[in-house]
């Protein structure tokens, strides 16, 4: 049977499917509204399957894809099947260069590229153009995957393209916020890989901590994941409980060698 919690339909850098059991255990039953301001591949949202949610990200194309999935799952599936049938190297690059004007075509394109590109990631250049080369996977339509089930899970969700602060500021008493920002650390002093600096700066990490602190003061329950780095521990000192969760992951560029790492889960009122 199709299990939505085990099958996020997008691959996303920093995807948290592996952390869902830990997160579920901490969050428990959600009484209010669930807020996820850094939605990405939505692994945690699908894992928790809350009834009411506000989901957001700054990536417009991504949010539009979720809207299309929620509102037109069958047409989206049909259009994805066309990509599946036509997939070749030439077709991939043609599709990558295309800029569909129709929202469903844009969503189908994004999903097709996400499933066939190198490493299954979504990366755009400074002009906002997707620029990942073709990968080895050729499967675009997954057997047993149900777009109607995914649409049903999204029915109670408000989707927004906006900065995290706009989303966090509306959460109040009894609501739950799960924040998974891009990881940046204050100093690259222990071999920790610093990335995404132009998009998410250290100043944004501080802005996030402050927005979350204000939400906790309004009565919201907050869970944040971040790099297990001393600058992050210092940033969240006095905020709530801090736990390091171990993970075996692939280090980029290190010839697929697997090494143990860990990430932080910081919670307040949970």
Q: Which residues here bind ligand SAM, judged by CB under 6 A?
A: 12, 14-16, 37-38, 40-41, 43-44, 57-59, 163-164, 180, 182, 199-200
| Cα(3)–Cα(241) distance, integer angstroms | 31
Strands 258-268 and 157-161: unpaired
Task: Compute the least distance from the CB of residue 88 to ligand SAM, in Å.
Answer: 29
| Cα(48)–Cα(20) distance, integer angstroms | 8
Nearer to ligand SAM by Cβ, of 87 and 177: the residue is 177
Q: Are 80 and 111 in contact (CB under 8 A)?
A: yes
Give every CB contact of residue 45 below 8 A, 6+ residues apart in sequence: 34, 36, 39, 53, 55, 153, 157
Task: Look up residue 219 and give its DSSP letter.
Answer: T
Task: Compute the least distance from the CB of residue 218 to ligand SAM, in Å.
Answer: 20
Nearer to ligand SAM by Cβ, of 137 and 207: the residue is 207
Nearer to ligand SAM by Cβ, of 54 and 79: the residue is 54
Task: Compute the least distance from the CB of residue 59 to ligand SAM, in Å.
Answer: 4
Nearer to ligand SAM by Cβ, of 19 and 76: the residue is 19
Question: Which residue lies nearest ligand SAM, judged by its C-beta?
Answer: 40
Nearer to ligand SAM by Cβ, of 147 and 200: the residue is 200
Strands 157-161 and 53-57: parallel
| Cα(64)–Cα(56) distance, integer angstroms | 11
Residue that is written with structure tokens 């996820």 in the block? 36
Count Cβ atoms within 10 A of the Cβ of residue 220 and give its class: 0-12 exposed, 13-18 middle, 19 or more buried.
Answer: buried
Task: Compute the least distance from the CB of residue 192 to ligand SAM, in Å.
Answer: 16
Nearer to ligand SAM by Cβ, of 40 and 50: the residue is 40
Task: Compute the least distance from the CB of residue 203 to ligand SAM, in Å.
Answer: 11
| Cα(34)–Cα(5) distance, integer angstroms | 16
Task: Compute the least distance from the CB of residue 169 to ligand SAM, in Å.
Answer: 12
């Amino acid at each position: 049977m199709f299990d939505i919690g085990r099958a996020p339909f997008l691959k996303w850098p920093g995807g948290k499917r592996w952390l869902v059991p830990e997160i579920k255990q901490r969050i428990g039953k959600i009484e209010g509204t669930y807020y996820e301001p850094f939605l990405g591949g939505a692994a945690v949202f699908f894992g928790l399957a809350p009834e009411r949610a506000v989901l957001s990200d700054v990536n417009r194309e991504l949010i539009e894809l979720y809207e299309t999935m929620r509102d037109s799952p069958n047409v989206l599936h049909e259009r994805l099947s066309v990509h599946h049938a036509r997939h070749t190297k030439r077709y991939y690059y043609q599709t990558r260069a295309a800029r569909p004007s129709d929202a469903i075509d844009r969503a189908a394109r994004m999903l097709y590229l996400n499933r066939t590109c190198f490493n299954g990631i979504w990366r755009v250049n400074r002009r906002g153009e997707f620029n990942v080369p073709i990968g080895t996977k050729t499967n675009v339509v997954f057997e047993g995957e149900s777009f109607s089930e995914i649409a049903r899970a999204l029915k109670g969700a408000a989707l927004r393209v906006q900065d995290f602060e706009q989303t966090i500021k509306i959460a109040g008493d009894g609501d739950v916020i799960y924040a998974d920002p891009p990881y940046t650390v204050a100093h690259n002093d222990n071999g920790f890989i610093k990335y995404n600096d132009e998009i998410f700066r250290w100043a944004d990490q501080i802005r996030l901590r402050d927005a979350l602190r204000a939400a906790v003061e309004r009565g919201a329950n907050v869970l944040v994941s971040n790099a297990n780095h001393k600058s992050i521990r210092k940033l969240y000192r006095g905020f709530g409980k801090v736990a390091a969760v171990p993970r075996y992951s692939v280090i980029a560029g290190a010839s697929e060698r697997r090494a143990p790492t860990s990430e932080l889960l910081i919670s307040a009122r949970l």
